[in-house]
Amino acid sequence: MVFYITYIIVAIALFGFIALFTLFAVYSERKIAGFVQDRLGPMETGKYGTLQTFADILKLIQKEFITPSAADKILFGVAPVVIFVAVFLGFAVMPWAPGIAPAALHLGLFYAIAIISIDAIGLLMAGWGSNNKFSLLGSMRAVAQIVSYEIPAGIALIAAVMVAQTLDMQEITRNQGIGTEDTLLFLGLWDVSDIGGILAWNVFQAPHLLLAYVIFFIASLAECNRAPFDIPEAESELVGGFHTEYGGLRFAFVFLAEYAMMFLVAMIGVVVFLGGWNTPLPNIGVVKLADWTTGLAWGILWTLSKTLLIVGIQVWIRWTLPRLRADQLMALCWKVLTPLAFLCMALSGIWRVWVIGG
């Protein structure tokens, strides 16, 4: 019985975190957008506009549920839930600190990329159910894009998994720091098992994973429908894309899912490539920085700060780069990222067999 209560509390805590993160991320996104464009962003609600997103969500909660009369009522109503739940379930396997993960699955990474794919079904439901040409076009684009970009993203992750030799996200993280039982080699040359820090992260253990991370990062931008890959919700041509007909709390859920997705893909990247909850500070002789900065609170701090940094980069990219055309999008995926991801996978095999040794 206590077991189930713990599950529910963990789920509620995660939901609360995602909601708070979304409020914070929307605010900071608007501020960063403002600064990049030499504007100030929201300034009126609260000091420096800090209460703006709280006011926004209060407004969205109060609004009426409007279902277009021509819409498919069931699909239209269920879609936001499917979209959000798909992303929310992905958080189940994310490791936050040593020994702290909502669910420690042996197939954690596989589960995460599998459950995120369900998002595409939700988007298609939303677009089809709205019975609106803009929504349908938007969701078609979204599905085409997400399905395509899952391939380079998945293969880039596999390249890292081949080096790490496990799909358990907690295990992948442990093998990138001083907590490991294996020998970790910086660039395949120098034993850093006891030094840890940034030197032991996967991207520095095997340098080709840096390329794999870049591929994963670009593909993950496409998977969360963010600029420069935001053609599914291209405002200038599709009104709002698949969420054109949504309003009120349903729209809030679609929005929540989008920001939760940003955090989730950033976190997957951090866990698989950038050391997860491991500290970036190495042990230097008697100055045991890595030993001192490893622990429960430190783990959560490192996970959060690394992930928020990546989310910050996503926002920065959104306000810099223009949208890609549909054909350029597909060309980038199939002609550049996928071959490079395969190259990374091949290099990982060679690395595992010849450099690390079986």
Q: How far is the CB of 147 from other proteins (least distance, A)?
A: 21
Q: Is 186 helix (H, G, I), strand (E, B) or coil?
A: strand
Q: Which is nearer to other proteins, 181 or 327 (CB)?
A: 327
Cα(329)–Cα(324) distance, integer angstroms = 6
Q: How far is the CB of 44 from other proteins (least distance, A)?
A: 9
Q: How far is the CB of 35 from other proteins (least distance, A)?
A: 4
Q: Is 112 helix (H, G, I), strand (E, B) or coil?
A: helix
Task: Determine the residue type at 85.
Answer: V
CA contacts within 13 A on the Cβ side of 312: 8
Q: Is 268:195 a contact under the CB 8 Å cutoff?
A: no
How many amino acids of this chain bind other proteins (CB under 8 A)? 18
Q: How far is CA 225 from the centre of its chain?
A: 11
Q: Which is nearer to other proteins, 115 or 218 (CB)?
A: 218
Q: How far is the CB of 39 from other proteins (least distance, A)?
A: 5
Q: Which is nearer to other proteins, 167 or 218 (CB)?
A: 218
Cα(170)–Cα(165) distance, integer angstroms = 12
Q: How far is the CB of 151 from other proteins (least distance, A)?
A: 17
Cα(34)–Cα(41) distance, integer angstroms = 5
Cα(118)–Cα(102) distance, integer angstroms = 20
Q: How far is the CB of 24 from other proteins (least distance, A)?
A: 18
Q: Is 249:61 a contact under the CB 8 Å cutoff?
A: yes
Q: Which is nearer to other proteins, 24 or 316 (CB)?
A: 316
Q: Is 198:282 a contact under the CB 8 Å cutoff?
A: yes
> Taking CB under 8 A as the rule, does residue 118 contact other proteins?
no
Q: Which is nearer to other proteins, 34 or 295 (CB)?
A: 34
31-50: which residues touch other proteins (CB under 8 A)? 32, 34-40, 43
Q: Which is nearer to other proteins, 6 or 320 (CB)?
A: 320
Q: Which is nearer to other proteins, 15 or 48 (CB)?
A: 48
Q: Is 136:130 a contact under the CB 8 Å cutoff?
A: yes
Q: Is 72 exposed, middle or buried (0-12, 13-18, 19+ CB in 10 A)?
A: middle
310-349: which residues touch other proteins (CB under 8 A)? 316-317, 319-321, 331-332, 335-336
Q: Which is nearer to other proteins, 316 or 342 (CB)?
A: 316
5-34: which residues touch other proteins (CB under 8 A)? 32, 34
Q: How far is the CB of 313 from other proteins (least distance, A)?
A: 9
Q: H or E element: which one contains 223?
A: helix 208-223
259-318: which residues touch other proteins (CB under 8 A)? 316-317
Q: How far is the CB of 314 from other proteins (least distance, A)?
A: 12
Nearest residue to 110 via CA among 52, 56, 153:
153
Q: Which residues lie near other proteins (CB under 8 A)?
A: 32, 34-40, 43, 316-317, 319-321, 331-332, 335-336
